[in-house]
Amino acid sequence: MARKKIALIGAGNIGGTLAHLAALKGLGDIVLFDVVEGVPQGKALDLSQCGPVEGFDAKITGTNDYADIKDADVIIVTAGVARKPGMSRDDLLGINLKVMKAVGEGIKNNAPNAFVICITNPLDAMVWALREFSGLPHNKVVGMAGVLDSARFSHFLAEEFQVSVKEVNSFVLGGHGDTMVPVVEYSTVAGIPIPDLIKMGRSTKERIDAIVQRTRSGGGEIVGLLKTGSAFYAPATSGIAMAEAYLFDQKRLLPCAANLTGQYGVDNLYVGVPVIIGKDGVEQVIEIDLDAEAKANLQVSVDAVKELLEACKGIDSTL
Ligand code: TXD
């Protein structure tokens, strides 16, 4: 059987880490694409030289030509620019929208059967635009945010309860940003829901509320520390988990930005919800019962995503 081909669009911090993880995990051959000349080639060469030490033999190539992503099985998109001082959110939206247009066309022309995972921010708008520009079926284009946000939530919960992160299962829904919705009721430690743990005196509502807030601003906390960029190790790990779910038909139930067609009362919008990922991409959207507070929070999040899409449509008239 031919090896799988993993194309990474954007060879920056996340792109390079994705390539490293994909090689270490033996997911297939890897193509790193970027518009900057030399960077994907240099990173590919550096990563290839890990092979003799780590014992992997993935072919890793760097390129500035979309023809090289031909027939990729999985494509992970991190291409774009980050917000710089003096740049408004709309400025960033305009620039990254143009990037999504170029990436979408590159995918459409070279790898229309791929499973595409978008990571570029603002995530919920960019994954929607990438789907529009690529013309791929909705089940084959998905956004990564919930896996990362849930990982952050789980990490903080494990610290709070002083247990291994392996025992913690948590859920974050909604858009990626300040309006995300960490769902406390569906988060557990070894199967015990957080509200029960509060009743058992293991924590307090105030402490959990603070963890929810820290999760919501989890990305900003890291930007504040790094100063020159944003998180990349955990975002890359999260993207790889989604790629593995597809490549190995794992039927994992993961929170991802998926296109909704009426679920949660939302139509034709990408929002973070639990989905099952297997060989057909997003195979099912799972509609969980939310309490009034979570529902109201999800609505705020949906409204924020809608506002971003309207801004995108204002910038690009083909959308
Ligand atoms: O949860 C999430 N979804 C996220 C999202 C968590 C963390 C970071 N998130 C976003 O991912 C972040 O706001 C950025 O939009 C992306 C990528 O983050 P990364 O840290 O990898 O950014 P870099 O290091 O700046 O890399 C971006 C690369 C860089 O090498 C550019 O030259 C390249 O993108 N780039 C392009 N590649 C291909 N095609 C085009 N047009 C292009 N424009 C820039």
Going by alpha carbons, the residue nearest to atom 20 of ligand 1 is: 13
ipTM of the complex: 0.99
Report how far ligand 1's centroid is from the alpha carbon of 194 (Å). Answer: 35
The verdict on whether residue 15 carries a ligand-binding annotation is: yes
Q: How does residue 297 score in pLDDT terms, banded at 50, 70 and 90?
A: confident
Share of residues in the chain with pLDDT > 70 (%): 99
| Residue 287 confidence (pLDDT) above 90 | yes
**At what angle are helices 39-48 and 13-24 packed, to 10 degrees?**
30
Q: What is the pLDDT of residues 195-243, one digit of tens each?
A: 999 999 999 999 999 999 999 999 989 999 998 889 999 999 999 999 9
pLDDT tens profile 173-190? 988 878 889 999 999 999
Quick one: average pLDDT of 291-300?
A: 88
Smallest CA-to-CA distance from 235 within 43, 163, 260, 226 is with 226
- In whole angstroms, give the CA distance from residue 185 to residue 188: 8
On whether 120 is known to bind a ligand per the annotation, the reply is yes
For the Cβ of 63 lying below 6 angstroms from any atom of ligand 1, the answer is no
With bands split at pLDDT 50, 70 and 90, how would you rate the model's confidence at 87? confident
Ligand 1 binding pocket includes 80 (Cβ within 6 Å)? yes
176 is catalytic: yes
pLDDT band at 82; cut points 50, 70, 90:
confident
Here the tokens at position 192 are: 């015990």
7-44 tens-digit pLDDT:
999 999 999 999 999 999 999 999 999 999 999 999 99
- pLDDT band for 254, please (50, 70, 90 cuts): very high
Is residue 78 in contact with ligand 1, taking CB distance under 6 Å? yes
User: Would you list the DSSP string of 195-236?
Assistant: HHHHHTTSS-HHHHHHHHHHHHTHHHHHHHHHSSS---HHHH
Nearest atom in ligand 1 to the alpha carbon of residue 33 is 38
Q: What's at 62, amino acid-wise?
A: G
Average pLDDT for the chain = 95
DSSP letter string, 81-141: ----TT--HHHHHHHHHHHHHHHHHHHHHH-TT-EEEE-PSSHHHHHHHHHHHH---GGGE
Note the Cα 235 to chain centre separation in Å.
Answer: 7
Q: Which residues of 18-54 are buried (b: 16+ CB within 10 A; e: fewer)?
A: bbbbbbeeebbbbbbbbeeeebbbebbeebbebeeee
Q: What average pLDDT does the segment 159-169 reach?
A: 98
Q: How far apart are CA 225 and CA 218, in angstroms?
A: 11
Cβ of 130 closer than 6 Å to ligand 1, yes or no, is no
89 alpha carbon, distance to own chain's centre: 19
What pLDDT, on a 0 to 100 scale, did the predictor assign at position 32?
A: 98
pLDDT at 178: 80
Nearest CA to ligand 1 atom 11: 120
Q: Which tokens in the block code for residue 211?
A: 């963890």
65 annotated ligand-binding residue: no
The token pair that represents 3 in the structure block:
């090896």
pLDDT average, residue stretch 121-130 = 95
Pair 148, 255: CB distance under 8 Å: no
Looking at residue 294, its pLDDT comes to: 85
Is 120's C-beta closer than 6 angstroms to any atom of ligand 1? yes
Q: Average pLDDT for residues 114-119, to the nearest whole number?
A: 98
Residue 18: its H or E element: helix 13-24
Percent of the chain with pLDDT over 90: 86
Instruction: Check the annotation: does 96 bind a ligand.
Output: yes
pTM above threshold 0.95: yes
Nearest to 153 by CA among 120, 180, 192: 180
Q: Which residue has the least CA distance to atom 30 on ligand 1?
A: 12
User: What structural domains and CATH numbers belong to the chain?
Assistant: 5-144 (3.40.50.720), 146-313 (3.90.110.10)
